[in-house]
Structure 1
Amino acid sequence: MSQQTTNAIDVRNAVKRYGDFTALKTISLSIHDNEFFTLLGPSGCGKTTLLRMIAGFEDVTEGEIFLYGEEIENLPPNKRPVNTVFQNYALFPHMNVMENVGFGLEMLGKSKSEARKRAGEILELVQLTQFANRKPSQLSGGQQQRVALARALAPQPKVLLLDEPLSALDLKLRKAMQLELKHLQRETGITFIFVTHDQEEALTMSDRIAVMSAGELQQLGKARDIYERPRNMFVADFIGETNLLEVTMDEVREGRALCHLGGGHALTCDAVDEVKPGAKVHMSVRPERLFLSEKAVEDESLAATVKENVFVGTDITTIVTLKDGPEFSIRTSNSERGNRRIFETGNDVFVNMEYGAARLLVD
């Protein structure tokens, strides 16, 4: 194995076609060693196809895939130091937990005693030691998922691929397992490549995220960077909630773009090299980066009227309409401590924006 690289996986100009249909369109990305990396996107975007190409279950039509510096696209799946956890877990119903976890080790040539010893160690890691003698049918969904993880981790693969493994779990258990997966990744030091369509799941667990759409890579970066600085309208709209505003970029002064939107309202934000003066583009503003006031508190305060308040548990979302302009969604924490005032329907208000909240998008 090459010692010259810190990347677990390098995908270079990879294309996947099924007849006339192109599922992946020239994807290039690198996944670092000991990283929790997520492929995120809606159904049909190509994320699972890319995962299966790394696993060896799908051929690469064009391009190359490297694992720790070595080309692997012609290597059969059973020869790759990679394991996969599937959505349906695929446990052997006639075997108990210990046997399920040890089975793959025995297939790799380990003796029964070696396999049992390693299986015991990994069951302790996933906190299932007390269930070693139970059959999968005697376990909850979350426990079955842990068994599938233990079985995949037992041979100590260099890379673990996870294809939406949490989607069958209920919300509360899914959130608990998100934290547990991240903990397992840190404990084992194995590179995890996780596929999901759930934005919150990706933001919670990932060191970096690749956002995909229609077979193309839309943006690659750390979770906070993608959320705070989305590159285009798809990423801004897909990752969390946002206000998408049609604006015209008028000019740039000292790195700040001066823009106007409907009703003659003006806003400034960081300039983007690809957006030139005169361009009609979109601006993204996250609802939690806005606040309302009774009087204008800054030059760019926007006059508006409250349309409605929506209670969503942890937050209150207020919808306002600008005078002769678009609607804004503002999210306020549902907490008395430091909580901003909630205005009633029909109140005249001003919309204020935190510095750096607005982001010009490359449509």
Structure 2
Amino acid sequence: MTDAVDLRGVVKRYGTVTALHGVTLSIADNEFFTLLGPSGCGKTTLLRLIAGFEDISEGEIRLFGHDIARLEPNQRPVNTVFQNYALFPHMSVLDNVAFGLKMKGVDPAARRARAGRMLEMVHLSAFAERLPAQLSGGQQQRVALARALAPEPKVLLLDEPLSALDLKLRQAMRVELKQLQEETGITFIFVTHDQEEALTMSDRIAVMSAGRVQQIGTAREIYEAPVNRFVADFIGETNLLEVEVASVSDGRATVILPGGARITCPSSSMTGGRHHLSIRPERLTISDRAELMANVERVVYLGTDLQVIAHLDGGQPITLRLQNAARTSLPEPGQRIGLHLEEGGARLLAD
């Protein structure tokens, strides 16, 4: 099957500054694909190259097998939903949604019917005759989505469209966005710096840093098996511990922490020397069956969870999360505790 979008060695330069360094990735048809990374990593630049708002310096951009890198934006079968929605304030909601169809020369009756169906899809049929200023931020965002979907683009590009919404509305819109993508069968390429958004909506994620793709995978793959220190640190919460690799054999490594504790964990081709070990806080429990010993510094109440902040023997800080339950016994600041690490809960990282 031909990929919806195929990027091959894409480079983008602004004068002497290189924003993208040979990005290569493929996005499948009908996939919800997310470009995730901190500000300045190149994710929005990459989206703008696909849309045609910027010219590539080197490489190829293919859409369903066709090279589109030199096509004008209006010649590309893609649409973009921007962060600020960019609705026409003087047009009704229905006319906003129908605007792209009007530009394509669709007759009035057909475009109104199509726009009406799009408003039904985003649950805004009752607001068709209102102006954008009469809508809430979440409603305006859904209008922008309906407008982008109305011309039936092959690919929909979304540039941080949820960032201006409050937390509860963002959480609700995540569910709606994923449902829309599944209902329409259109490939969505979503840009965000929010890890939770990426993890909850995406079929696959590309984690970016400094103009390079660090890792591509499903949410579980990215979270459970980060390939390097950047990905482990950026995705969710983790403990990054400096360790000395004592031995590597049959895909497993034995590492030594500064306090002398030894841990065995999965390893690919890691060699000896100093590296970082990633341990997710939820993979640790307080137990007499302990691989690590620590001294509690403080306990933080987070509602559903309890965060225990401690220091290992040897001085390295470590955090664990305990589910908040009536039977949970809380450690006290200054208390010495044993920490049990779940099988497979540690990962040796490349730096």
Q: TM-score range by the shorter chain?
A: over 0.9
Alpha-carbon RMSD: 1.0
Q: What is the rounded CA distance, in whole Å, between the counterparts of 2:253 and 2:157 in structure 1?
A: 42
Of 281, 295, 299, the residue aligned with 2:275 is 281
Q: What is the rounded CA distance, in whole Å, between the counterparts of 1:105 and 1:199 in structure 2?
A: 34
* TM-superposed deviation, 1:154: 0.4
Q: What is the rounded CA distance, in whole Å, between the counterparts of 1:244 and 1:117 in structure 2?
A: 55
Q: 2:175 aligns to what?
A: 179
Q: What is the rounded CA distance, in whole Å, between the counterparts of 2:314 and 2:303 in structure 1?
A: 31
Q: 1:319 aligns to what?
A: 309
Q: What is the rounded CA distance, in whole Å, between the counterparts of 1:341 and 1:360 in structure 2?
A: 31
Q: 1:360 aligns to what?
A: 348
* TM-superposed deviation, 1:340: 4.2
Q: 2:61 aligns to what?
A: 65
Q: What is the rounded CA distance, in whole Å, between the counterparts of 1:228 and 1:340 in structure 2?
A: 26
- TM-score in terms of structure 1 length: 0.95
Q: What is the rounded CA distance, in whole Å, between the counterparts of 1:272 and 1:340 in structure 2?
A: 37
Aligned structure 1 segments of 4 or more residues deviating by more than 3 angstroms: none
Identity of aligned residues (%): 63
SS at match of 1:14: strand
Q: 1:132 aligns to what?
A: 128
8 Å contact from structure 1 (residues 261, 325) kept in 2: no
Of 318, 331, 336, the residue aligned with 1:343 is 331
Question: Which deviations, in whole Å up to 9, do the C-alpha atoms of 1:82-107 show, x marking residues without a partner?
Answer: 00000000000000000000111011
Q: What is the rounded CA distance, in whole Å, between the counterparts of 2:204 and 2:2 in structure 1?
A: 15
Q: What is the rounded CA distance, in whole Å, between the counterparts of 2:172 and 2:14 in structure 1?
A: 38
8 Å contact from structure 1 (residues 98, 116) kept in 2: yes
* TM-superposed deviation, 1:342: 2.0
* TM-superposed deviation, 1:181: 0.2
1:88 pairs with 2:84: yes
- How many residues matched? 351
User: Which 5+ residue runs of structure 1 have no aligned equivalent?
Assistant: none
* TM-superposed deviation, 1:249: 0.9
Of 319, 330, 338, the residue aligned with 1:329 is 319
8 Å contact from structure 1 (residues 286, 357) kept in 2: yes
User: Which 5+ residue runs of structure 2 have no aligned equivalent?
Assistant: none
Question: Which deviations, in whole Å up to 9, do the C-alpha atoms of 1:260-312 show, x marking residues without a partner?
Answer: 01111111100121x11x2211010000010012x2x15xx212211110112
* TM-superposed deviation, 1:324: 2.7
1:332 maps to amino acid: L
Q: 1:245 aligns to what?
A: 241
